[in-house]
Structure formats: structure tokens, C-alpha cells
């Protein structure tokens, strides 16, 4: 079936183009004639000046199936994804059984084939127990079926084990993706720059526990030649370490989350004066101080921080209503990421809309080798950044994965409307712009508001 999208602003490598387009399984056509006169037939959707952008990609989500389906499933997680404009997601391995063997992975793959509403690319675990310790997983057997290897949720504690994992991943042509947390540096009082470091439930998750392990790992990546990606960067020191490693030629990229870019821990009372220590503010790593937030924003601007990932981590209501001390770590993010970032960063004058689209839709696909048309010897638009070197190719912005985003009508984030099972978000009640009107994957509409 062909869908005609009229009166939209279409993302291209030269910026946004006001155009009418047709979308089908065969591809996308841009019409040159007057609006309303088309050489093809199909359903006509008036986009009313909405943005038409490539489908978003999130390389860090938790869909909880198998093992914890009461929190989220492949069906509900991908429903949340397409409602947020995503067509590609990569699922983390803290499952039961963990995807550390083919038998463990098969359960998840079967659920993906049966229930997924968008593309789902599972990670393989680095260690056999997905514990950051012990023996490596069956990486060679898993490699053809996984997007990369990670023990997300825990850091790989021993440098020797991480070296072994990097050498194996390098031989398999796969990324090592790391949740960086040195357990020997946990405990005591958190040392990040925040008003509530001594009182909130994040006590002991120190800034140093993150950046010290990144410091170790970039050296190992340099020595092994392994492609290395850092999860949910949250501290100013981490940004500095990664920036220096990139300048030295290390094959390293990183992500941060919307919550680290748009708030700091001193904001909790302003956001929710009645419950500033609510479980909806609890995640690992924690939201830190203003200096950390500002360093992450600077990292986005100068290209040190490569992409945005939500760390979508749903839990039951019971698990998230025990305050900062007692609640489980994790918030949901797929249905709020684009509108929050568009409202706070683009409308706030911090980055351009083109930059936001690049770091949410294109950069993740290029780094992780996910589906999307690549233009041979293409060049990123000038507004994409401040880097000296640019990739061999750039994603074709007119692939058959699209999201249609309304940026003209404000609305309040309401967790009761979420398609996923999780309801815990620090953005509850925020007035934002950027609601997803439609999500199209492979030319087919997979979500429509």
C-alpha cells in the first residue's frame, strides 16, 4: 500500500525540505509538482507542517522478556518504541536465561519473531552469567545473531577479563558495549556535584566508579584494536576521558540519556516538591550535578557524545514506589525521548533539529551497522558537527523507515497513555512538543496516533 505524506518538512542531508512524498514497500518518491497532484494513488495524510524524519534508533533498551515479562515484553516494548518514533532497538541481556548461549538467546529470538512491532536486535552477554565476572559467554556461537556484546547492568570487573572479551569481539567483528561501574569504588558517600549526594538513594554510586572503568577500557581498546562503546555516560570526567581517547585515535563511541541532559539532582525538589525522593528519579548511573549535565551537553555539541539512548528500563508500579532508597533502578524513555530533547535542546537553542535527528536516528545505525540505506562516499551535512574526520558513508535520510513528528502542538506527558508497561518517568507532567503522529517501517505504517 502507498501512503502519500503531504505538507511535511522532510529531513535530507542538506537540511529540511518542504515536500510531498509517497512511501511504500518499494521506496520513497519526492513529488516535484504542485501539492495535491500525484502520479500515484494511495492514502493521503496531511502532515500539517510536521517533521518527516528517519525512524529513530535506540541501542539501549530493556524489554525484560524472557524472565521478567511482568515488567515488559517484546510486544509491549516495541509498542512503546513505535509510539515514540523508533524503528530499530537493541535489547540488553539482563534476562533469565541470559543470552550467553544459543539456547538462552533462542527464547528471546522466538519472541521477537512472533511479537515485535519494530526491528529488535538483541545483545549477547559478555560473561556466562552476565555478572561481570567468571568465564566468557559463548561469543563465537552468539555472534551471528547479536548486535554486540555487553553485560549491561554490571561492569566487567577484571581488566584481564575485559581484555580477553575485547580480543574475542575484535576477532568476531563485534563491538564491546560497556556499563562502566567499578565495584571497588562503590559505597560511602557519592562524590558527584549535587545537593542531595548524602541523602538520596544513589549514595555510593560515585562518579569515579564510572570514569575510572572507562579510563581502563579505552586503554584496552587501544591495545586490542577492539571497537568499544560506553553506555549511559553521566559524569564530566567520563566525557573528558572519552574526548581524549578519541583524539588519540581510539575506536570509542558513547551514548548518554535524555534525563542526564535535561536535569540535575538539584532539580528534584523543583520538579516534584511533594516527592523529591520519588522512585521515578532513580536509575543507575544516577542523575548527577549541574557540572556533569553541562559537560554532557558540551559533549553533544562537540561530538564527543555520539548518540542518545534511552536506557528504557520498565519496572512494576510496586517496584518503583519505594522511594529513592528502596525502588528498583530504571525509568522508561522510549515514548518521551524525542519530545523532551526537542523541547529542551532544540527549542531551547542548544542544538539544531538536524543535529538531534542525526544523533537519534543516524549515528546509532552507522556505529552498530543496523539497517538503513547508505550513500556511497556520502558526506554528513556541515551542521552535523565539528569533527575533522567524517564516515565513509552517510545514512540515506529517505529510507523507508520514517517518523512523522508534530512539533506545533504542545502536550503534557501522561504515563497513563504509554503503550509500554512501565509508568515511571521523571518527565511526568512536563509540557513538551514533538508528539509522534506516525511511524513507518519498510514502507508500512506500524503506528498512527
pLDDT in tens, 227-243: 999 999 999 999 999 99
Name the strand (E) or helix (H) holding 140.
helix 139-142
d(C-alpha 370, C-alpha 368), whole Å: 6
d(C-alpha 227, C-alpha 250), whole Å: 8
pLDDT of 398 = 53
Could you list the residue range(s) of the whole structural domain that residue 169 is in? 55-338
pLDDT band for position 187 (cuts 50, 70, 90): low
CA geometry: angle 55, 60, 63, nearest 5 deg? 95
Distances from the Cα of 353 to the Cαs of 21, 66, 203, 346, 347, in angstroms?
20, 37, 36, 6, 9
d(C-alpha 275, C-alpha 390), whole Å: 46
Name the strand (E) or helix (H) holding 6.
strand 3-12
At residue 249, does pLDDT exceed 50?
yes
Sign of CA dihedral 55, 69, 122, 391: positive
Backbone dihedral region of 358: left (phi > 0), alpha (psi from -120 to 50 degrees) or beta? alpha
Helix, strand, coil % in the chain, rounded to nearest 5: 30, 20, 45
- Ranked by mean pLDDT, the top range of 280-284, 332-336, 380-384 is 332-336
Q: What is the CATH number of the domain that holds 104?
A: 3.20.20.140
d(C-alpha 129, C-alpha 137), whole Å: 8
DSSP SS3 for 32: coil
d(C-alpha 367, C-alpha 227), whole Å: 10
| 391 part of a folded domain | no
Closest CA to 255 of 299, 193, 192: 299
pLDDT of 385 = 34
Tell me the pLDDT tens digit for each residue of 95-117. 999 999 999 999 999 999 999 99
pLDDT band for position 15 (cuts 50, 70, 90): confident
At residue 376, does pLDDT exceed 80?
no
DSSP SS3 for 93: coil
Closest CA to 432 of 340, 337, 299, 338: 340
| 264 part of a folded domain | yes
pLDDT of 191 = 36
pLDDT of 361 = 95
d(C-alpha 292, C-alpha 287), whole Å: 9
| 381 part of a folded domain | no
Q: Which of 182, 193, 311, 373 is catalytic?
A: 311
What residues contact 1, with CB distance under 8 A and at least 6 apart? 24, 42, 43, 444
Q: Is 311 a catalytic residue?
A: yes
| 401 part of a folded domain | no
At residue 346, does pLDDT exceed 70?
yes
pLDDT band for position 2 (cuts 50, 70, 90): very high
| 164 part of a folded domain | yes
pLDDT band for position 190 (cuts 50, 70, 90): very low
| 318 part of a folded domain | yes
pLDDT of 196 = 39
Name the strand (E) or helix (H) holding 445.
strand 444-448
d(C-alpha 117, C-alpha 293), whole Å: 34
CB atoms within 10 A of CB 27: 12
Mean pLDDT value across the chain: 89
Q: How many domains does the chain have?
A: 1
Grid cell 536516528 — which residue? 361
What residues contact 151, with CB distance under 8 A and at least 6 apart? 93, 125, 126, 127, 130, 131, 132, 178, 179
DSSP SS3 for 19: strand
Tell me which of 45-59, 126-140, 190-204 is least confident: 190-204
d(C-alpha 411, C-alpha 430), whole Å: 8
| 155 part of a folded domain | yes
| 123 part of a folded domain | yes
DSSP SS3 for 69: coil
Amino acid at each position: 500500500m502507498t501512503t502519500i505524506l503531504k505538507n511535511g518538512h522532510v529531513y535530507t542531508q542538506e537540511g529540511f525540505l518542504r515536500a510531498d512524498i509517497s512511501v511504500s514497500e518499494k521506496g520513497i518518491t519526492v513529488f516535484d509538482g504542485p501539492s495535491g497532484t500525484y502520479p500515484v494513488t494511495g492514502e493521503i495524510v496531511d502532515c500539517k507542517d510536521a517533521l518527516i524524519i528517519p525512524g529513530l534508533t535506540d541501542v539501549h533498551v530493556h524489554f525484560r522478556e524472557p524472565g521478567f515479562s511482568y515488567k515488559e515484553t517484546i510486544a509491549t516494548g516495541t509498542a512503546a518504541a513505535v509510539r515514540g518514533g523508533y524503528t530499530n532497538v537493541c535489547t540488553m541481556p539482563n534476562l533469565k536465561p541470559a543470552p550467553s548461549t544459543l539456547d538462552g538467546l533462542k527464547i528471546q529470538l522466538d519472541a521477537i519473531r512472533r511479537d515485535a512491532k519494530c526491528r529488535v536486535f538483541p545483545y549477547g552477554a559478555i560473561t556466562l552469567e552476565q555478572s561481570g565476572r567468571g568465564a566468557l559467554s559463548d561469543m563465537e556461537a552468539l555472534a551471528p545473531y547479536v548486535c554486540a556484546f555487553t553485560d549491561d547492568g554490571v561492569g566487567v570487573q577484571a581488566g584481564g577479563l575485559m581484555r580477553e572479551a575485547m580480543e574475542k569481539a575484535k576477532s568476531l567483528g563485534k563491538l564491546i558495549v560497556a556499563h562502566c561501574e567499578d565495584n571497588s569504588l562503590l559505597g560511602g558517600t557519592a562524590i558527584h556535584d549535587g545537593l542531595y549526594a548524602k541523602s538520596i538513594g544513589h549514595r555510593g554510586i560515585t562518579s569515579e566508579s564510572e570514569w575510572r572503568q572507562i579510563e581502563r577500557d579505552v586503554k584496552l581498546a587501544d591495545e586490542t584494536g577492539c571497537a568499544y562503546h560506553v553506555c549511559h555516560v553521566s559524569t564530566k570526567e567520563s566525557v573528558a576521558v572519552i574526548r581524549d581517547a578519541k583524539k588519540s585515535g581510539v575506536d570509542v563511541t558513547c551514548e548518554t540519556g535524555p534525563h542526564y541532559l535535561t536535569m540535575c539532582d538539584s532539580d528534584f525538589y523543583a520538579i516534584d516538591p511533594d516527592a523529591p525522593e520519588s522512585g521515578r528519579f532513580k536509575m543507575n548511573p544516577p542523575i548527577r550535578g549541574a557540572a556533569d549535565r553541562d559537560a554532557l551537553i558540551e559533549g553533544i555539541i562537540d561530538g564527543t557524545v555520539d548518540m542518545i539512548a534511552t536506557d528504557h528500563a520498565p519496572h512494576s508500579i510496586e517496584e518503583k514506589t519505594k522511594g529513592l532508597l528502596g525502588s528498583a533502578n530504571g525509568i522508561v524513555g522510549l515514548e518521551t525521548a524525542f519530545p523532551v530533547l526537542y523541547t529542551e535542546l532544540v527549542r531551547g537553542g542548544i542544538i539544531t533539529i538536524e543535529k538531534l535527528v542525526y544523533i537519534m536516528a543516524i549515528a546509532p545505525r552507522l556505529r552498530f551497522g543496523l539497517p538503513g540505506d547508505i550513500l556511497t562516499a556520502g558526506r554528513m551535512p556541515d551542521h552535523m558537527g565539528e569533527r575533522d574526520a567524517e564516515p565513509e558513508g552517510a545514512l540515506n535520510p529517505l529510507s523507508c523507515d520514517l517518523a512523522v513528528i508534530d512539533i506545533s502542538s504542545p502536550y503534557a506527558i501522561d504515563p497513563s497513555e504509554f503503550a509500554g508497561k512501565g509508568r515511571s518517568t521523571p518527565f511526568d507532567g512536563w509540557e513538551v512538543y514533538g508528539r509522534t503522529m506516525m511511524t513507518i517501517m519498510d514502507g508500512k505504517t506500524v503506528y498512527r496516533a
